[in-house]
Structure 1
């Protein structure tokens, strides 16, 4: 008969040995091992499982039904993630009467198994072992069906163990997802940082002041996205970031983009300990970058210094209030409303605010203040 795979048991903690033993007991019973064969086979399997957990960090044990010399056999493959077994210990195991080698437990397994093979290296060890029953082989389909039924009985009689296994698999899936997301944010952030560096390099060689201004605006936008990705990569939850870290990074990026020898503009950030989901974080970063850019461009005409304040605080209703203000020239009487401007920057601010169902308000009596209130749903 061909080898028929049955089930795999994870080997990560001592509690897993109980399940490993239960599976081994059920399968040796199905294969009609004698009492003596049953006892020593289960003992050997438990020994392999303990070794995988204690010395191999963690691993898994895969069971299958096979045929050896016309008799049914239980095939087991135990794979761990340890540092491997030293070659001198492997050589010692092959020497009769040797006290070195694989150690008493594994030597005992090797002695009673019908087949025993070890593959080991710096990335882990794989032990393939087969235990033969003395009974005659019956229908392979019947054995597989009975083995499957026996394993299902284990699940039904121990729902707590099944739930524990499901919870563990769910946690591992979530951990894998977070790892992938963090790697994605890491690579995206690095790529955007490279683009930002290329923009700065191009700006340093530009002779036209209008070109330098446009490149500075672009640098601020790309920098806001780059910083958001980097912060999400460092976050405990790859889908969120801390608002305070984001706003400080955006402010620093804007200062770097618009710095000039004859300008001394200070950006003060005041932010509560707020955690933002990824999409909202990206959009707030872009909005703040645009508002700081506008202040640099228009608020301090004819001046060499000034101050920009960025505040993000929770509202009593459970939402958030973003306020970006400056102590610049403000709005002249009769001046057109900046929030209605057709400029790319204000179009972006309006669009991002609308996407989050936020209200936008601008006052210009004492400098310019832009207030955006995000609803509690965000």
Structure 2
């Protein structure tokens, strides 16, 4: 589609009037034909066939435009008028170049000649964005299908033209939305990276805190141990040894957290086995003839539950070793943990030792161990039961944390 200027347009129009018929498609509701001196390009058709042809072109939902070998427009339908803003009489007889954007006109004659050399039904400009020039000067995005139409020994090209403005608008909106989503995603990734860095720094800090707390508690334990060694009275040594095991129970919590990937939750089964072994080692006189049986359900407790549970476990094992097997008696201490049917945690310590005295009542005396356990049970919001059938059994029930 090209033009060489106003003079060429005038020459083309004069040539059309002198040598060719001009086809008008529809005027009102009646199909007519304006005929110049030569015969019409559709003169080989019967009047009925010609009327049907014109009606089919006019009724097409897409723009339909026919040009001759010289690139002059010989037929248009109403959709072409709407699409380009020209009246029918302005288009018929005009060169096709008036509908070609100025930036594309120089190359258009070459493209028309290439199509004339190999005319076949195909899409125009496959893979390229095509635009038509509206009468008001704006460019309209379009798709064009080309169809060679031989009539009366002459070759015409019938083009179907589709306005894809709405599709292009939707594509632009989609591209803008995708760009916005990419920006949002990039922003989120940046924030995630920042938070990941902050969490990594926090983990390093928590790791260091647990390590230092454990070391400081070990120093305290060592200081207590130094004091124990200078005391000769077993009665004087016993309270310090009990205090030492409590400090080491807390230190062990921080050691397990330091070694764990989760700095907020303690693997309680692993911790309990280590704690029980440490208590047996500290009270080696009793542990030589008493065995340990640990049956723990795998559970991770938050730190605010693991520490009181560990201290309670420490007190109960020490109590069993101290009072359950007098005179070097042999026996077994069993430590267990499970979830109840109601979803609560149940920590138990039992032995097959001598059991309780007939007048025993929990909390009746002023034992420091009993006071510590009662305070820790309250801290956990749990309940504590004691029974003395075939030995002694202590059971702590408490709500598990999230």
Q: Deviation of residue 317 (structure 1)?
A: 1.9
Query: In the TM superposition, what are the counterparts of 1:78-93 in structure 2 within 5 Å?
Result: none
Residue deviations 1:36-81 (CA, integer Å, cap 9, x gap): xxxxxxxxxxxxxxxxxxxxxxxxxxxxxxxxxxxxxxxxxxxxxx
Please tell me whether the aligned partners of residues 155 and 161 of structure 1 are also in contact (alpha carbons under 8 angstroms): no
**What is the distance in 1 between the residues matched to 2:311 and 2:379?**
13
**What is the distance in 1 between the residues matched to 2:396 and 2:229?**
34
Please tell me whether the aligned partners of residues 306 and 328 of structure 1 are also in contact (alpha carbons under 8 angstroms): yes
Match of 1:288 in 2: 313
Please tell me whether the aligned partners of residues 306 and 326 of structure 1 are also in contact (alpha carbons under 8 angstroms): yes
Q: TM-score, normalised by structure 1?
A: 0.56
**What is the distance in 2 between the residues matched to 1:277 and 1:200?**
30
Query: In the TM superposition, what are the counterparts of 1:113-262 in structure 2 within 5 Å?
Result: 158-260=183-285
**What is the distance in 1 between the residues matched to 2:401 and 2:268?**
17
Match of 1:351 in 2: 375
Distance 1:164 1:225, change over 3 A: same
Superposition RMSD in Å: 2.1
Distance 1:157 1:270, change over 3 A: closer
**What is the distance in 2 between the residues matched to 1:340 and 1:158?**
70
**What is the distance in 2 between the residues matched to 1:294 and 1:195?**
23
Which of 344, 366, 382 is the matching residue for 1:319? 344
**What is the distance in 2 between the residues matched to 1:271 and 1:350?**
23
Query: In the TM superposition, what are the counterparts of 1:30-45 in structure 2 within 5 Å?
Result: none
Q: Deviation of residue 279 (structure 1)?
A: 1.4
Q: TM-score, normalised by structure 2?
A: 0.53
**What is the distance in 2 between the residues matched to 1:358 and 1:219?**
26
- Secondary structure of the structure 1 residue equivalent to 2:328: coil
**Residue 270 of structure 1 pairs with residue 271 of structure 2:** no
- Secondary structure of the structure 1 residue equivalent to 2:224: helix
Q: Deviation of residue 235 (structure 1)?
A: 1.0
Please tell me whether the aligned partners of residues 253 and 307 of structure 2 are also in contact (alpha carbons under 8 angstroms): yes
Larger radius of gyration: 2
Please tell me whether the aligned partners of residues 296 and 337 of structure 2 are also in contact (alpha carbons under 8 angstroms): yes
**What is the distance in 2 between the residues matched to 1:261 and 1:318?**
36
Q: Deviation of residue 157 (structure 1)?
A: 6.6
- Secondary structure of the structure 2 residue equivalent to 1:302: helix
Structure 2 unmatched runs, 5+: 1-178
Q: Deviation of residue 245 (structure 1)?
A: 1.6
- Secondary structure of the structure 1 residue equivalent to 2:355: coil
Please tell me whether the aligned partners of residues 228 and 246 of structure 1 are also in contact (alpha carbons under 8 angstroms): yes
Q: Deviation of residue 275 (structure 1)?
A: 0.7
Q: Deviation of residue 262 (structure 1)?
A: 8.9
Please tell me whether the aligned partners of residues 155 and 162 of structure 1 are also in contact (alpha carbons under 8 angstroms): no
Match of 2:385 in 1: 361
Residue deviations 1:213-234 (CA, integer Å, cap 9, x gap): 1122112101101100100111
Q: Deviation of residue 323 (structure 1)?
A: 0.4
Please tell me whether the aligned partners of residues 319 and 377 of structure 1 are also in contact (alpha carbons under 8 angstroms): no
Please tell me whether the aligned partners of residues 308 and 380 of structure 2 are also in contact (alpha carbons under 8 angstroms): no
Aligned residues: 224
